[in-house]
């Protein structure tokens, strides 16, 4: 049995919704665990529709899976770093992190099962080792846990906002501010539940941004996540009136460049090693297709 502990930082949210937003288990699995009596809130068993109060202590007990359902696949994998506790991966654009929504193979998890000798089991048979995700068409860094102790420690750093994640994105148009903070509430788009949006009923989402370079009709920006909501940077870029170039869900329909997804890259990842206690910092260069677009814009500027 694995255990995850949380302290609720918001009131008025259902337990299953809160846990879905704060760990990598699916909402259906979380609901099954809660309704099966495997979640304690302030020491008492709670169902999935329990409404939380800020400060509530949540303990989620997760039965250990005997086998991993996902199959190993010999897929290319850019392993930036690995040791006995974790691995840092530079995920390419177009690769889904784990199975779901009709995707059963070709995922990062399938590649991890082939290339790594072990993965944490906290997230069950579908998401072994996955501590946090990045979107299919977002490239860049994410950390993978090789054992449950490392998984818990890394998850807590993300929950406590001590894990530093910096992204680089090319935005449509000219962003007026050189830097700033976007502080909104993000939740499901009531008009399209497959998308996220800035809505009053959502959860607080905070993103810091800084302009790196300006072009004719485009702005290269750095984004630092202070929270980890689904599609946070993409939604906040749209909220600023300058969506990410190539974003099929939140961007402009007519992109001037031939792209397979948004120009959004998880460039920097920093955290404290779960057993060594050392600060770890990693950086991944922009993909070639991203650099090619920037070179086109720089040539036009010159």
pLDDT, tens digit, 9 for 90 and up, residues 146-170: 999 999 899 889 888 899 999 999 9
| Distance between CA atoms of residues 194 and 260, nearest Å | 19
Q: Is CATH 3.40.50.150 correct for 165-266+291-301?
A: no
How confident is the prediction for the chain on average, in pLDDT? Answer: 90
User: What pTM was estimated for this model as a whole?
Assistant: 0.78
Overall fold of domain 79-160? Pseudouridine synthase (3.30.2350)
Burial of 250 per CB tally in 10 Å (0-12, 13-18, 19+):
buried
Does residue 126 register a pLDDT over 70? no
With cut-offs at 50, 70 and 90, classify the pLDDT of residue 40: very high
pLDDT average, residue stretch 197-223? 95
**Three state DSSP letters for 44-111:** EECCCCCECCCCCEEEEEECCCCCCCCCCCCCCCCEEEECCCEEEEEECCCCCCCCECCECCCCHHHH
CATH 3.30.2350.10 spans which residues of the chain? 79-160, 165-266+291-301
With cut-offs at 50, 70 and 90, classify the pLDDT of residue 29: confident
| DSSP-assigned letter for residue 113 | H
| Distance between CA atoms of residues 96 and 136, nearest Å | 4
- Residues 98 and 26 sit within 8 Å (Cβ to Cβ): no
pLDDT score for 113: 93
pLDDT score for 103: 65
Is 56 a catalytic site residue? Answer: no
pLDDT average, residue stretch 90-115? 86
- Domain 2-62 carries which CATH code? 3.10.290.10
CATH 3.10.290.10 spans which residues of the chain? 2-62
From the candidates 9, 16, 21, 135, which is the catalytic residue?
135
């Amino acid at each position: 049995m694995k255990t995850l502990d949380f302290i609720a930082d918001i009131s008025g949210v259902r337990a299953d919704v809160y846990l879905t937003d704060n760990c990598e288990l699916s909402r259906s699995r979380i609901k099954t665990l809660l309704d099966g009596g495997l979640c304690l809130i302030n020491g008492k068993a709670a169902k999935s529709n329990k409404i939380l109060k800020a400060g509530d202590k949540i303990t989620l007990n997760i039965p250990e899976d005997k086998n991993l359902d996902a199959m190993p696949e010999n897929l290319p994998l850019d392993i930036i770093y690995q040791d006995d506790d974790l691995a840092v991966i530079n995920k390419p654009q177009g690769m889904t992190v784990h199975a779901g929504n009709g995707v059963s193979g070709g995922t990062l998890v399938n590649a991890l099962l082939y290339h790594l000798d072990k993965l944490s089991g906290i997230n069950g048979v579908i998401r072994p080792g996955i501590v946090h995700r990045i979107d299919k068409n977002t490239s860049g860094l994410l950390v993978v846990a090789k054992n449950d102790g490392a998984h818990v420690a890394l998850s807590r750093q993300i929950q406590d906002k001590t894990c530093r994640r910096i992204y680089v994105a090319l935005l449509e148009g000219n962003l007026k501010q050189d830097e700033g903070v976007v502080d909104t509430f993000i939740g499901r788009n009531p008009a399209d539940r497959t998308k996220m949006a800035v809505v009053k009923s959502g959860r607080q989402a905070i993103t810091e941004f800084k302009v790196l370079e300006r072009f004719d009709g485009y702005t290269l920006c750095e984004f630092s996540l202070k929270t980890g909501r689904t599609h946070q940077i993409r939604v906040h870029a749209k909220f600023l009136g300058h969506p990410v170039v190539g974003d099929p869900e939140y961007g402009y329909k007519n992109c001037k460049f031939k792209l397979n997804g948004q120009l959004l890259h998880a460039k920097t990842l920093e955290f404290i090693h779960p057993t060594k206690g050392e600060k770890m910092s990693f950086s991944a260069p922009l993909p070639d297709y991203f650099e090619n677009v920037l070179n086109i814009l720089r040539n036009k500027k010159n």
